[in-house]
Every structure is written in structure tokens, then in C-alpha cells.
């Protein structure tokens, strides 16, 4: 009997990096609502009561970027510059240019917006075809936001992180070994009461009891205090939570971030398509675990390579799986955009709690492969 331990983390929507992702994705969606052919590559930087927006936008849309920023900060719940950031008083600096003509000439003919490698992954460990640790970590982070916004635990503030360590026995999930939660809170909170509330209202509400036992370890606000948070406690930047966004470190990542990029950027669109393909390879019974890699060159339509790994779980040869992929899917940038309908303003839905494993997103749909 072989025991192994694997850990993944997630963050709440108020984490400074996720605040930045959400602002960047909202700018993208607002551009797509008015102009479906918008080209967007926007980065957001958050520091002490200041937001900086920079990047390239080529669009016919009329965007009030300052209002978008303030609305998103307010929506998340940040309203105190002494503790995190205040949507009413924060300084907003905007530096936006248009897409480089050198890049545009390749994208205009249907080529990839950049070179790079992308990965997609799926496993039958969970109903969502996601690795177990990241699936549980996301559920905890989402629940932290729910209990704050619905008033169940009104003393919580937006910033927070979760972490789950899973024990595997002979390659299968056996139990949860450790749960770590750090959550921002108001200054006058009793920490012992917070620990009790988090166990009862967050952990026990979302983690199936069969995975918890007397040996499970809990670490809740291990420093004992988390009052200063958000961009005041730590700077935020678009694209820094790429492992939270994907598979929690369980599968490989090409390195490109998602948020703030329109679908001509294969960093985003190809990663979505590869997740869709990997999930359907598993859902259709060709393997129990599947990882796919593609590589693109800037300005070229077809990927330079396609690689499949099933970790010894495949029911058919890899060549047959590659044939299935070639028969069923168009991996050109335009083919991906049309298939997944990525000119629609759907990207703010993806920002928080993982871009994968959520059935409402088009790349998560299960189809019958021919």
C-alpha cells in the first residue's frame, strides 16, 4: 500500500491577484458586448489604494474604464482604504494603446496571436473531471465568499485563501489530510469564534464528511490575525494565479495566463479547447486520465504539434486518440473561437474559482466523439 500526499490551493474573489483578473476580464467583456471582434490584452496592477490599467485594446467599443474598475471593486466588497482598498477614493491610472500592427497582421489572416505551448487535462477523480485537491479548494474559497456576502459570517472581508492536502492510497483518493484557510476579517473579531465558524459554516458545509476523520488537520488563520488584506496587504497583478486557474499543479501548464485576453490569444482559447478535448476523451471512456499539449507559432493557423499523455490509463492506443482528435476538432484559432463561441462576453464568469470544472462554461460540455 503506497501513500502519497498532494496539495492544491485556491483563493477568493477578493484576493488582490483575483481582483486584478476580474477587472481585466470585465474590460474584455465590456468590449465584446459592443464589438465582438475586439482585440484585448489588458493587465491590471493593484497596490495601496491605487489601480493601474495597462495594455492594448483595438475595438470600436466605447469604454469607461474608470467606472468599470470602481464598480468591480465595489462589487467584491472593498470599501476601506485603511484595511484593503476603497472603491470610492482609490486612484486609477490608465495607460492603454492599440494592438501592434506586427501582431495584427498575423491574427487578421486567422493565425495565432502568439507562439506558445498550451495544455489541457481531465481525470475521472471527481464528477467535474477535475483533480480532487483543486476541486475541494475551489469549493472552500467559493463558500468563504458566500458566507460573507449572504451575511452568514458578516465579519469576514474579501481577501482569503484555501489549501487542501489529499492522501492517495495506491493512486486513489483516500482522505483529506489537511485543510488550511486564511480569511480576512474585521478588527474586533474573536479568533476562537472565527475558527469555530469556519469549521461549521465553511468546511463542513462543502467537504463530504467521508473524506474527513480524526486525523484530519485544520489550520485556520494560523498567524492568529488577518485584518490588513487586499492590495494594502499585498500587491495584485493580472495572471499571477495561473495554477489556481487550471489544475492546482496536478497537471502541467504552458505558462500563459488567461484573464484580460481575447480569444485570438491561444494562451486562453487553446487551453480551453484542450480542456474540452481531454474531458471528452475521459468522459467517452478512452482513458481515465488525459493530458494534451499543443504548440503554436505566431501568425500560423495549424498547431505545430499535438501530444497526448494518458499515464497508462488509456483503453485504446494513443494513435487512435490522436485520430479521434483530428476527426472531431478544428485546432486553428478561428476554429476554436467558432466552436466554443468565444466572441461572446462570457469571460467574467471564468475569473474566480477555476476556469475548468464548471458545467455552465462551453468547454465543459460533454459530447459523443466519433
Beta bridge partners of 116: 296
pLDDT of residue 96: 96
Query: Which run of H or E residues covers position 280?
Result: helix 266-283
How far is 295 from 58, CA to CA, in rounded Å? Answer: 26
* Cβ pair 162, 141 in contact under 8 A: yes
* Cβ pair 289, 282 in contact under 8 A: yes
Coil vs helix vs strand at 306: strand
Q: What is the DSSP track for 144-185?
A: HHHHHHTTSSTTEEEEEEEEEEEEEETTEEEEEEEEEEEEEE
How far does Cα 263 stand from its chain's mean position? 15
pLDDT digits (tens, 9 = 90+) for 290-341: 999 999 998 889 999 999 999 999 999 999 999 999 999 999 999 999 999 9
Q: What percent of the chain has pLDDT over 90?
A: 92
pLDDT of residue 327: 95
Q: What percent of the chain has pLDDT over 70?
A: 97
Dihedral sign for Cα atoms in the order 204, 207, 209, 214: negative
pLDDT of residue 130: 98
Q: Please report which confidence band the pLDDT of residue 1 belongs to, taking 50, 70 and 90 as the band edges.
A: confident
Q: Please report which confidence band the pLDDT of residue 368 belongs to, taking 50, 70 and 90 as the band edges.
A: very high
pLDDT of residue 109: 57
Indicate left, alpha or beta for 259 from its phi (over 0: left) and psi (-120 to 50: alpha).
beta
How far is 174 from 161, CA to CA, in rounded Å? Answer: 24
Q: Please report which confidence band the pLDDT of residue 105 belongs to, taking 50, 70 and 90 as the band edges.
A: low
Dihedral sign for Cα atoms in the order 271, 275, 278, 281: negative
pLDDT digits (tens, 9 = 90+) for 196-234: 999 999 999 999 999 999 999 999 999 999 999 999 999
For 298, the grid coordinates are: 505566431
Residues in Cβ contact with 232 at an 8 Å cutoff, skipping those fewer than 6 apart: 48, 49, 81, 82, 83, 84, 85
In terms of Cβ atoms closer than 10 Å to its own Cβ (0-12, 13-18, 19+), residue 316 is: middle
Mean pLDDT of 112-139: 94
Asked whether the predicted pLDDT for residue 155 surpasses 70, the reply is: yes
Q: Long-range contacts of range 170-177, CB-CB < 8 Å, 24 or more positions apart?
A: 170/1, 170/2, 171/2, 171/4, 173/125, 173/132, 173/211, 174/3, 175/211, 175/212, 175/213, 175/215, 175/216, 176/136, 176/207, 176/211, 176/212, 176/216, 177/5, 177/215, 177/216, 177/217
How far is 222 from 188, CA to CA, in rounded Å? Answer: 17
How far is 151 from 153, CA to CA, in rounded Å? Answer: 5
Q: Please report which confidence band the pLDDT of residue 108 belongs to, taking 50, 70 and 90 as the band edges.
A: low
- The chain-wide mean pLDDT, for the chain, equals 95
Nearest to 352 by CA among 20, 126, 71, 6: 20
Count of alpha carbons within 13 Å of 232, Cβ hemisphere only? 20
How far is 253 from 168, CA to CA, in rounded Å? Answer: 22
Q: Please report which confidence band the pLDDT of residue 114 belongs to, taking 50, 70 and 90 as the band edges.
A: confident
How far is 229 from 241, CA to CA, in rounded Å? Answer: 17
How far is 243 from 263, CA to CA, in rounded Å? Answer: 20
Residues in Cβ contact with 156 at an 8 Å cutoff, skipping those fewer than 6 apart: 144, 147, 148, 183, 184, 185, 186
pLDDT of residue 47: 96
For 325, the grid coordinates are: 482528435
Amino acid at each position: 500500500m503506497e501513500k502519497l500526499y498532494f496539495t492544491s490551493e485556491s483563493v477568493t474573489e477578493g484576493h488582490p491577484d483575483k481582483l486584478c483578473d476580474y477587472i481585466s476580464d470585465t474590460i474584455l467583456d465590456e468590449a465584446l458586448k459592443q464589438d465582438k471582434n475586439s482585440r484585448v490584452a489588458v493587465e491590471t496592477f493593484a497596490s495601496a489604494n491605487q489601480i493601474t490599467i495597462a495594455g492594448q485594446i483595438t475595438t470600436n467599443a466605447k469604454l469607461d474604464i474608470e467606472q468599470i474598475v470602481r464598480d468591480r471593486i465595489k462589487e467584491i466588497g472593498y470599501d476601506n482604504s485603511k484595511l484593503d482598498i476603497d472603491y470610492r477614493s482609490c486612484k486609477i491610472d490608465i495607460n492603454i494603446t492599440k494592438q501592434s500592427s506586427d501582431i495584427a497582421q498575423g491574427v487578421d489572416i486567422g493565425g495565432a496571436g502568439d507562439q506558445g505551448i498550451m495544455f489541457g487535462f481531465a481525470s475521472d477523480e471527481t464528477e467535474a473531471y477535475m483533480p480532487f485537491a483543486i476541486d475541494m479548494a475551489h469549493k472552500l474559497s467559493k463558500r468563504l465568499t458566500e458566507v460573507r456576502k449572504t451575511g452568514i459570517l458578516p465579519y469576514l472581508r474579501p481577501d482569503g485563501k484555501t489549501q487542501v492536502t489529499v492522501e492517495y492510497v495506491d493512486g486513489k483518493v483516500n482522505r483529506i489530510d489537511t485543510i488550511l484557510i486564511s480569511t480576512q476579517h474585521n478588527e474586533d473579531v474573536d479568533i476562537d469564534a472565527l475558527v469555530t465558524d469556519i469549521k461549521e459554516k465553511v468546511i463542513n458545509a462543502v467537504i463530504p464528511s467521508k473524506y474527513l476523520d480524526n486525523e484530519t488537520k485544520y489550520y485556520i488563520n494560523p498567524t492568529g490575525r488577518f485584518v490588513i488584506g487586499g492590495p494594502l496587504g499585498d500587491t495584485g497583478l493580472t495572471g499571477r494565479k495561473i495554477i489556481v486557474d487550471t489544475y492546482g499543479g496536478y497537471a502541467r501548464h504552458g505558462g500563459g495566463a488567461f484573464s484580460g485576453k481575447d480569444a485570438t490569444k491561444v494562451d486562453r482559447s487553446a487551453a480551453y479547447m484542450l480542456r474540452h478535448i481531454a474531458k471528452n476523451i475521459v468522459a467517452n471512456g478512452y482513458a481515465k486520465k488525459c493530458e494534451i499539449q499543443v504548440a503554436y507559432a505566431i501568425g500560423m493557423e495549424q498547431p505545430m504539434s499535438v501530444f497526448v499523455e494518458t499515464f497508462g490509463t488509456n483503453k485504446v492506443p494513443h494513435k487512435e486518440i490522436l485520430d479521434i482528435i483530428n476527426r472531431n476538432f478544428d485546432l486553428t484559432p478561428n476554429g476554436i473561437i467558432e466552436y466554443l463561441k468565444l466572441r461572446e462576453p462570457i469571460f467574467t464568469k471564468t475569473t474566480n474559482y477555476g476556469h475548468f470544472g464548471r458545467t455552465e462554461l462551453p468547454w465543459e460540455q460533454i459530447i459523443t466523439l466519433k
